[in-house]
Amino acid sequence: MTEDDERWMRLAIEVARSKGSDPADAPLGSVIVRDGRVIAAERNQTEELPDATAHAEMMAIRRGCEASGELELRGATLYSTLQPCGMCTMASIWSKVGRVVYGAGREDVHPMYFEAKHIDTLSFIADAYREDIVIEGGCLRDECASLYYPPDADLSFEEQANL
Ligand SMILES: [Zn+2]
């Protein structure tokens, strides 16, 4: 993890916060950087579109491909404020990004943000059919985790039904 990583993660946090600071509104941000340049910066847009697949990382991959006019984002790094879910991890593999860097991990936030069944994105990447992709977590972990409900938050079912 480098200073540049922290700089891009700060941008991802800013993008996430553009949605407000209510942890119920899924303030997730994702930024894709290639050659020191931002090619996409998106937040979760599932409710607004509405689109169940409009996670921040998915939106960033779509915008990144549009912006570069390329199907593959080789050499790019995808930053996400929260550990990517199974769908976004797979999308990262398909998009050919070289590196995924996330802030808060599963253990840092309330389980409501993840699938009911545990999909371990780390072993998912390790078992991927690509040798040229790495995933690293914990970049600005505390700042990213502060966007979300803490692991032990006492939430009603309705409060948890947003995602
Ligand atoms: Zn996702």
CATH of domain 3-151: 3.40.140.10
pLDDT at 163: 52
Tell me, in angstroms, the distance from the centre of ligand 1 to residue 85's CA: 4
pLDDT, position 77:
98
For residue 116, what are the contacts with CB-CB under 8 A and spacing of at least 6? none
Is 6 known to be catalytic? no
Q: What is the pLDDT of residues 40-96, one digit of tens each?
A: 999 999 999 999 999 999 999 999 999 999 999 999 999 999 999 989 999 999 999
Distance CA 161, CA 152 (A): 17
CA distance 91 to 72: 11
119 CA to centre of ligand 1 in angstroms: 11
Q: How far is the CA of 91 from the centre of ligand 1 (A)?
A: 9
